Amino acid sequence: MHNLTIKQMSEKLHAGEITSVQLTQHYLDRISKYDAELNAYVTVTPELAIAMAEEADKMLASGEAGLLTGIPVAHKDIFCTDGVKTSCSSKMLDNFIAPYDAHVVTQLKKAGMPILGKTNMDEFAMGSSSESSYYGPTKNPWDHKAVPGGSSGGAAAVIAAGLAPMATGTDTGGSIRQPASFCGITGIKPTYGSVSRFGIVAYASSFDQAGPMTRSAEDSAWMLNAMAGFDERDSTSLQREAVDYAADLGQSLKGLKVGVPAEYFGEGLDADVEAVVRNAIAEVEKLGAEVVEVHLPNKDLAVPSYYVLAPAEASSNLSRFDGVRFGYRCENPKDLQDLYKRSRSEGFGAEVKRRIMVGAYALSAGYYDAYYLKAQKLRRMVRDDFTKAFESCDVIMGPVAPTPAFNIGEKTDDPTSMYLADLYTIPVNLAGLPGISVPAGFVNDRPVGLHIVGPYFSETKLLNIAHQYQQVTDWHTRMPAQYQ
């Protein structure tokens, strides 16, 4: 059953060929069999999943079911889930049981989707490899020596290994698209504000955006339909008419103008990755698209800008974790100052502390103008580059990451090298644009993704392009041999 698409699962559920309880139990059994070696789940919720599946079966029997009813889902452990531990893979929140649901969790519950559990991630979504998790690193299903990417590495791994048919992820600087590329699945980051951030533990509020992680673009379209929409509890949520993200699936690509930035194919890009990406672009060209060269001259300014702005926001957002109200508290503090210092130093991991310190420094008196203000100006320049590029093309295509998945431990002692793994994804977050990673091939038996970026609110176009590409290729259907 784990080889079926979401649409095929839905058809079988509605036809009565399988029940939601059977489908959910199938995934729970696979989790029990395989997750010990992958470490992709932080929490598994079998009793909750079966209870929700029983309710889904009642909806199916009554004729009140939707397309996604009865199909189980896994949530990244950054989405608050009522009654379930929401840890952000941090010691700081290891004892936190969320008292409410994030908006996305509520929406998928309304759709009738049983919750399998919470997936592993980089601590507080800070990382590109899922190695900074308090619970240990997640392994890439294609090669256990490799990372699955991050911060949504656990979510990507459970899809790739068939331990969930779909999962929620969040993308701050590439945290949906980069692990999707490393694990050979499809992942889309929507336009900033399209999906509510309510109930998502904040890392960098002006960057964070939730999105679906699935096997195919069609599956992502159906899932995004349930996730997206206005939420008055989120001040950055966009109030616009409801969009059917699956509406354009099947549209011809004839006349589509694909921009290929010259800056994306220079120094730093692995030659084999470049070959895979160029072959994928050539396939899209065969479908009727026209390839044109565009320029993003400020691409190299994106990473330094991001690693000033995102830590600055993180230093503010994470100040609430002080050992007083909730989360980890040190033992036997001498006084209030000792409580603050020890709770934070013991509760946070190395990468989180590094980013808090960088952010606090950038915002401090005397350095705000020199660092934070300049980084905001660079952010505008990066956004303006995209605006100009889209004057001559409909979408932009290129690599998701400079290399395939690297080995566990390979970059942990070199944070700068780790940060450069998001070289191609960060500019999209700085601009707030939508972007999707589509499986496009392999390098040394490790997956590589094609990155497609569009103007604001072009998700239906991106999903259709990805869908059309997946009609003539089979990369998205492949699974690691040991999990088939």
Please tell me whether residue 113 adopts helix, strand or coil conformation.
Answer: coil
- Catalytic-residue membership of 76: yes
For residue 381, the number of C-alpha atoms closer than 13 Å in the C-beta half-sphere is 16
- Catalytic option among 10, 20, 76, 237: 76
Residues shown for the chain: 484
- Catalytic-residue membership of 315: no
Q: Could you give the CA distance from residue 458 to residue 428 in angstroms, rounded to a whole number?
A: 13
Per-residue tokens: 441:
């091939």
Q: Which helix (H) or strand (E) holds 24?
A: helix 20-38
In contact, 208 and 194? CB cutoff 8 Å: no
- Catalytic option among 10, 89, 151, 216: 151
- Catalytic option among 175, 181, 216, 237: 175
Look up residue 170 and give its DSSP letter.
E
**Beta strands at 167-171 and 115-119: parallel, antiparallel or unpaired:** unpaired
In contact, 122 and 132? CB cutoff 8 Å: yes
In contact, 111 and 226? CB cutoff 8 Å: yes
Backbone φ and ψ for 443, nearest 5 degrees, come out as -130, 120
In contact, 130 and 138? CB cutoff 8 Å: yes
| Omega before 151 within 30 of 0, i.e. cis | yes
The torsion angle over the Cα atoms of residues 175, 180, 181 and 183, rounded to 10 degrees, is 120
Q: Which helix (H) or strand (E) holds 283?
A: helix 271-286
Backbone φ and ψ for 194, nearest 5 degrees, come out as -75, -30
- Catalytic-residue membership of 175: yes
What residues are annotated to the active site?
76, 151, 175
